[in-house]
Structure 1
Amino acid sequence: MKDKLLEILKKHLKKTKTIALLEIQQQLPGDTQYEEFAKLMEELEKEEILVPIKKHGSNGSKYVLYNTYRINKEKLKMEFIEEIHRWQRKVDAHINLSSYLSLSEKEWKEDLYFIKKIDTYFKEKGLPKEEATSPERAYEIVHNEKWIDEGGGKKLLERIKVWEYIKISKQADPLMLAVNKKALQGLNHQHLIVENKSTFYLLLGFLNQTQFTSLIYGAGWKIVAGIEGVYKQLDIESEKNTFYYFGDIDYEGIAIYESISDKAKLAVSFYEALLQGEKSLGKENQERREEVLKNFVTRFSYEQGLKIKEVLEGGYYYPQEALCKEEVLNIWRALS
């Protein structure tokens, strides 16, 4: 309840430095016990955050409270400063919170959720040893691939002085891809991106039996930054290409696709074949991405979408490796 009291006082300070006891009580939850409230008010008096104006009289209760109090702005700010110091002692040593001492409490509250996420990431995984794209690193830290580039993440990481530690690659890694020489001579090009290396090698032997120009190993999140590099790697014009994506049916695989959905089509027929097989257990700890999942299932029939939702919500998933060699060629040929 102390946090609630401090919130009331900070809000009131925007109008005036004095506050009536009755005004404080009116803003407290209806089930607040008077004795608990009185003890907290006494605590705030001892901390000199509240100074009673005694000439305005008291309420005459067993636990005496005064009718009016003066709010000590500097002491109230000290409470905020001490909170930052408490967090500084708790978080990973690489995180520096000193910037917040000169920022507003509103900014601190807005950033604290992400600071906790970064702290957990450092404590569980340590400092990154290898570079990663910003979407990949953002997903690792806060499970939102757009956070660094579009959600204010870069500014926050610089503010707490950890930007240099998270190793964001300035240039995307070149993609591992295989080329169909015959299709490369054409004017229009189709490319199939697969999330995992094992699926890349499974499909590799069939590339020359399709109309596709290339088979691309997306390497998880690396495809998000690397997809634009395909044009230079193959020396082809960007206007004459169609990309298809095939990944795992799990929250992360879906999130990867949604990050490039403006550049690539979903290879729906591969996913439909996966749904005919057995689901696997092993992704129950993945963070749920309800909005991403909602967008993803719109590309399937109602029944298929419902099945995908039920499987993922139950902690199961469909690995793309579940497709056997015999069925992938026919699916791929039909995709073009």
Structure 2
Amino acid sequence: MRDLITKELLKYNKKTITLEELETWIPSNSLNYEQFAQLILSFEEEGILEMVKSKGRNTRTPSLAYTYRITKQHLKKDFHEELKSYRLRLHPSIHLDSYFGLDPSQWNSDKPYLLLIHDYLESFGFPTHEVPAPERSVELVGDEKWITDKHGKELLERIGLWTAMKIIPVSDPLMFAVNPSVLTQKVQKHLIVENKTTYQALVDSLSDMDFSTVIYGSGNKIIKSIEQFHRQLPLPHAEHRFYYFGDIDNSGIFIWYRLNEKVPVHLAMPFYQACLDKPSLEGKTNQRMDRAAIDVFLCLFTEQEREKLLAVLDRGHYYPQEILKTSELEHIWRNATWN
């Protein structure tokens, strides 16, 4: 019953609690008043519950305060002592520092998996080769979905072992066409396009361009699938330069913004500027605007271009990639300066 009260106190958001509220946490008929009182008094003695003097105490025996002030620092004392003891028990590479700032329920949830990871490291040490997440998941905890679907990745990051476990990210393969004639160059240029129509319009021209690949981003999928790039096109000594061309709408801008957070990606500016010479289209009013993404995107344009883009987005208009015909796309790609 003490563990139940402790758990509820840790979740409780207010600084004070009434005796009546404490009583509601006890299952009916599980304790008589004397047993309940002794339990609450034990929390008083440890400084976890402190009487609010202005509210007074009841007249029953043993006497309890009508209202208590909660001191969670004392409440977590046992929890912190447990963490310190596990620091000595677990493999030294398992870092527990983050748990001191988390709710004990997170520790209790993670502990069985930490013990399994400890056993794995004691038996096999650190892996030397990368394997897919489900395979490593089975090796570590006996559940192929633990890393991908059951917060296993978050736990490994929490204890500082995600990189050391050499896990191949689970994401769709990156879809791209390759221009083998330029793969020996020091600087490798790659054009990522958001939509399939634009990819198909450009892929037949790739062999005539100074680009190594044209990549089909498939909307949001590129944010994850870009993780596969170096595995699918291993050119260790090359300098890779990515360019992105997507729809000029809230969604297309946000995709580029998120992708740019993972790997530096230039806007394929000649394509975007060509779109701005066209009349915008109505629609896309149901998309959520991400202000940070819009601000970063607009910073890359001239003041005049920014004003036009803002006016287009504010009206609920947009520029789809398909506003540029195949012949226009090929001409721009071939003749623009790609720094």
Query: Could you tell me the TM-score, scaled by structure 2's length?
Result: 0.51
Q: How far off is 1:199 after superposition?
A: 0.6
Give the 3 Å change call, closer, same or farther, for CA 11–175 of structure 1 in structure 2: same
Give the 3 Å change call, closer, same or farther, for CA 17–317 of structure 1 in structure 2: farther
Give the match for residue 190 of structure 1. Answer: 189
Q: How does 1:240-255 map to 2 (within 5 A)?
A: 240-255=239-254
Q: Once structures 1 and 2 are overlaid, which stretch shifts more, 246-255 or 305-314? A: 305-314
Q: How far off is 1:281 after superposition?
A: 2.3
Contact kept, 8 Å, 1:247 with 1:254, in 2: the verdict is: yes
Following TM superposition, the consecutive aligned residue runs of length 4 or more in structure 1 with deviations greater than 3 angstroms are 9-20, 69-74
Q: How far off is 1:72 after superposition?
A: 7.7
Q: How does 1:87-126 map to 2 (within 5 A)?
A: none
2:219 counterpart SS class: coil
Q: How far off is 1:194 after superposition?
A: 0.3
Distance of 1:18 and 1:71 partners within structure 2: 6
Listed one character per residue, the Cα deviations across residues 280-315 of structure 1 (whole Å, up to 9, x for unaligned) are: 222111111111101110000112112222222222
Question: Aligned to 1:10, which of 10, 14, 21?
Answer: 14
Give the match for residue 299 of structure 1. Answer: 300
Q: Once structures 1 and 2 are overlaid, which stretch shifts more, 186-195 or 324-333? A: 324-333
Distance of 2:321 and 2:154 partners within structure 1: 36
Q: How does 1:1-336 map to 2 (within 5 A)?
A: 10-11=14-15, 70-71=66-67, 170-237=169-236, 239-261=238-260, 262-333=263-334, 334-336=336-338
Contact kept, 8 Å, 1:12 with 1:19, in 2: the verdict is: no
Contact kept, 8 Å, 2:186 with 2:238, in 1: the verdict is: no
Runs of at least 5 residues in structure 1 that lack an aligned partner in the other structure = 1-8, 21-50, 54-68, 75-102, 105-148, 157-168
Q: How far off is 1:274 after superposition?
A: 0.9
Runs of at least 5 residues in structure 2 that lack an aligned partner in the other structure = 1-12, 18-47, 58-64, 71-102, 105-147, 156-167
Give the 3 Å change call, closer, same or farther, for CA 180–155 of structure 1 in structure 2: closer
Distance of 2:234 and 2:218 partners within structure 1: 21
Give the 3 Å change call, closer, same or farther, for CA 188–311 of structure 1 in structure 2: same
Q: Once structures 1 and 2 are overlaid, which stretch shifts more, 249-258 or 232-241? A: 232-241
Amino acid at match of 2:223: V
Amino acid at match of 1:322: I
2:252 counterpart SS class: helix
Distance of 1:282 and 1:15 partners within structure 2: 59
Q: How far off is 1:170 after superposition?
A: 4.4
What count of residue pairs does the alignment treat as equivalent?
A: 204
Amino acid at match of 1:184: L
**Cα RMSD, aligned residues only:** 3.9
Q: How far off is 1:219 after superposition?
A: 1.1
2:214 counterpart SS class: strand
Query: Could you tell me the TM-score, scaled by structure 1's length?
Result: 0.51
Distance of 2:214 and 2:315 partners within structure 1: 32
Listed one character per residue, the Cα deviations across residues 25-51 of structure 1 (whole Å, up to 9, x for unaligned) are: xxxxxxxxxxxxxxxxxxxxxxxxxx9
Contact kept, 8 Å, 2:189 with 2:241, in 1: the verdict is: yes
% of aligned pairs identical? 36
